[in-house]
Structure 1
Amino acid sequence: MIKFFRKIRQKLLSKNKFSKYLIYAFGEIILVVIGILIALSINNWNEKQKDLVKEQLILKQLFSEYQSNLKQLDEKILMRNQALEACNNLLKQIDNPTSAIDENAFYRSLWIIFRDPTFDPIKNDIVGSENLRLIQNDSLVRFLSNWSSEVFQVQEMELEYQKFRTEIVGPCYFRLGIARNVNNNLWKDGYTPTEALDKKSNRKFTIKPTKKSVDLTKVLADVEFEGIVSQVITTHQVTNIQSQTLRNRILHILDIIAQEIEE
């Protein structure tokens, strides 16, 4: 093909047809430019197809991660709801000191409010990396970009409860002399944490209750104990409000991803 065009150029020049040569040369340049543009278009199309494949892989990975995040968050919400129920039961006993005290239920409630649900979602490197540009849905990009700051708002409250649990709840249990009985009640019949990785695991330990005298009516009459129970309610309620907002965000993210994933 190149030899063919070269012969045409030589023929035009040999016959001194310079004007026709210029027209021919211009046409040849146009053909070369068109060829380059076609090659670039093909290359761009290939690159775009590669990006689409990468995007689908990222979307599927994100979908799996946020499903796991949703499952974990639901467990934390459940744990706080269990604590709220335990606190309400304790307040009923505090407000009705003459009623019989179910020791097992009492100590079980104390353990439930001593737990500290903490949400620790899967961390990915999508945001802040060049992979974020591969996601074409602007709404999804926005949600992913805001995710860390929204999670932090929940975790910040959880950390506050951890501090409250360590500095206030635990020392109160020790002061009232009920810590050993709380732990004995937890393990004597077997225990599987709500957040356990293996839901079938059920462990038993022998601690036995304290041999010292524990008057639960005095525990229920303790002003600090009553204040702790009421504070747990407020803290868990507020944290669950934030967690529910975060849960709705996860559901929205999952819905967008599901629509973007190709069958």
Structure 2
Amino acid sequence: MKSVFRKLRQTFLYSNKVSKYLLYAIGEIILVVIGILIALQINNWNEKRQSHQLEHQLLENFRTSLQTDLSLEIIPNIQQLKTDTLNLNVLINTFNNKLPYNDSLKYIFGSVMYSKSFKYEVTAYKTFENLGVGIITNKSLNDSILHLYNMDYPELQYNIGNFTNNLTEFNRPLLRRLFKLKQESSNSIYFIPVDTQELYENVEFLNVLTIAKLNFTNIINQTNHNKNRVERLIEMINEELKNSS
């Protein structure tokens, strides 16, 4: 009988040890899981912080690029196009009304030899593509950037380049035949008609002036459209930087 009780007592003691071990093991597992979860949370937080810093820097770069586009390309192009359009109006009016030729016209005949290109900063956009377009979390801002760099800018660049090439191709033979070119300074050339009467009666040249004016007007409108989009995009970037700081 004593041996039976002894065995039972040993069994209970053993069971108690197993229970304690199981509790200990479970506790350790829980601690490990908690540690992993904390580590993952810290890692996610670090990744979000780094992503936020990258987004912030990228938006600042975009803002600088867009401001450069405005000051060096878009606004000067609009100003030059408006000046050239005014000059074309003077020439068209002179031709249509057969006004007496005056010496001031020699400085504006060159307006029909419009030679301009549109170049825009692409460094920020290349970085944007490399990082992945999802780096910018504001969908409206993200879409506006994609639209500007994939549609508005390339279309304007193509139209200006195409118009310049066509104008040069059609005008150069006329200018060589109808004008004498004089160099006034190292960077200034003016045009003197060989025969004013012949020039006034040259329908081809008048057509060139008319088409040039139409194209200048279209490009001014398109460039103004880009100017408005760029200015609005800069405002959106400023708002996003302010809200995320």
What is the TM-score when the length of structure 1 is the normalising length?
A: 0.77
What amino acid sits opposite 1:162 in the alignment? Answer: T
Alpha carbons of structure 1 residues 208 and 29: separation in structure 2 relative to 1, 3 Å: closer
- Of Structure 1 and Structure 2, the greater helix share is in 2
Q: Which structure 1 residue ranges, 4+ long, deviate > 6 Å from structure 2?
A: 207-210
Q: Which runs of 5 or more structure 2 residues have no equivalent in the other structure?
A: 1-11
Deviations 1:138-169 (A, max 9, x none): 12221222213321211221122122222111
Cα distance in 2 for partners of 1:255, 1:209 equals 44
Q: What is the match of residue 166 of structure 2? A: 164
Q: What is the match of residue 82 of structure 2? A: 81
What amino acid sits opposite 2:130 in the alignment? Answer: S
| Other structure's SS at 1:21 match | helix
Q: Tell whether the 8 Å contact from 2:106 to 2:190 is kept in structure 1 after alignment.
A: no
Q: Tell whether the 8 Å contact from 2:109 to 2:190 is kept in structure 1 after alignment.
A: no
Please give the residue correspondences for 1:206-217 in structure 2 after superposition, counting only pairs within 5 Å: 214-217=194-197
Deviations 1:78-117 (A, max 9, x none): 22111111111011101221x332222x122211221222
Alpha carbons of structure 1 residues 253 and 94: separation in structure 2 relative to 1, 3 Å: same
Larger radius of gyration: 2
Q: Which runs of 5 or more structure 1 residues have no equivalent in the other structure?
A: 1-12, 191-202
Q: What is the match of residue 6 of structure 1? A: none
Cα distance in 1 for partners of 2:213, 2:54 equals 46
| Other structure's SS at 2:15 match | coil
What amino acid sits opposite 2:175 in the alignment? Answer: Y
What is the TM-score when the length of structure 2 is the normalising length?
A: 0.83
Aligned residues: 227
| Other structure's SS at 1:129 match | helix
Q: What is the match of residue 119 of structure 1? A: 118
Q: Tell whether the 8 Å contact from 2:180 to 2:194 is kept in structure 1 after alignment.
A: no
What amino acid sits opposite 1:57 in the alignment? Answer: Q
Deviates more, 1:135-144 or 1:231-240: 135-144
Q: Tell whether the 8 Å contact from 1:117 to 1:158 is kept in structure 2 after alignment.
A: yes
How much has 1:14 moved relative to structure 2? Answer: 7.4
Please give the residue correspondences for 1:45-64 in structure 2 after superposition, counting only pairs within 5 Å: 45-64=45-64
Q: Tell whether the 8 Å contact from 2:55 to 2:136 is kept in structure 1 after alignment.
A: yes
What amino acid sits opposite 2:83 in the alignment? Answer: Q
Cα distance in 1 for partners of 2:221, 2:37 equals 56
Q: Tell whether the 8 Å contact from 2:116 to 2:161 is kept in structure 1 after alignment.
A: no
Cα distance in 2 for partners of 1:252, 1:61 equals 16
What RMSD, in angstroms, separates the aligned Cα atoms of the two structures? 2.5
How much has 1:15 moved relative to structure 2? Answer: 4.8
